[in-house]
């Protein structure tokens, strides 16, 4: 799991595939992020498609962000089906 300092930018990348082929979701691609206390800090924000099926979102943590493990869900809608990919990252006051 990647670790970041408070105030740093976390880049979350995910690949969306259909039958093993990178594909652009046909309806939407958004992200939701929860802090270690399960507070929603990013709600249904659009991700950027860097290339076909490769999606990215940059999240800048606050200088006094809660420390601990954050959960990020990338949510895709394609062909009327919703798919979720989960990622985790840690925010710390210092990195040893």
Given a cut of 80, whether residue 96 has pLDDT beyond it is no
pLDDT (0 to 100) of residue 60: 97
- Residues 67-80 pLDDT 10s: 999 999 999 999 99
What is the span of the domain harbouring residue 46? 2-92
The alpha carbon of 17 is separated from its chain's Cα centroid by a whole number of angstroms, namely 16
How many structural domains comprise the chain? 1
- 60-94 exposure pattern, b = at least 16 Cβ within 10 A, e = fewer: ebeeebebeebebbbbbebeeeeeeeebebebeee
pLDDT (0 to 100) of residue 20: 94
Q: Which two tokens stand for residue 70?
A: 């954050």
Q: What's the pTM?
A: 0.93
Given a cut of 90, whether residue 19 has pLDDT beyond it is yes
Contact between 4 and 58 under an 8 Å Cβ cutoff? The reply is no
- Residues 25-73 pLDDT 10s: 998 999 999 999 999 999 999 999 999 999 999 999 999 999 999 999 9
What whole-number distance in Å separates Cα of residue 80 and Cα of residue 34? 25
Sheet with 54-60, edge to edge strand ranges: 9-15, 54-60, 48-51
pLDDT (0 to 100) of residue 55: 97
CATH classification of the domain holding 34: 2.60.40.1930
DSSP state of 64: T
């Amino acid at each position: 799991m990647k670790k970041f300092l408070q105030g740093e930018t976390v880049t979350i990348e995910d690949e969306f595939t259909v039958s093993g082929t990178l594909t652009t979701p046909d309806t939407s691609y958004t992200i939701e992020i929860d802090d270690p206390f399960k507070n929603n800090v990013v709600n249904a924000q659009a991700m950027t498609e860097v290339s076909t099926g490769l999606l990215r979102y940059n999240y800048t943590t606050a200088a006094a962000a809660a420390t601990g493990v954050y959960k990020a869900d990338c949510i895709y809608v394609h062909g009327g089906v919703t798919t979720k990919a989960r990622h985790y990252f840690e925010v710390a006051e210092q990195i040893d």
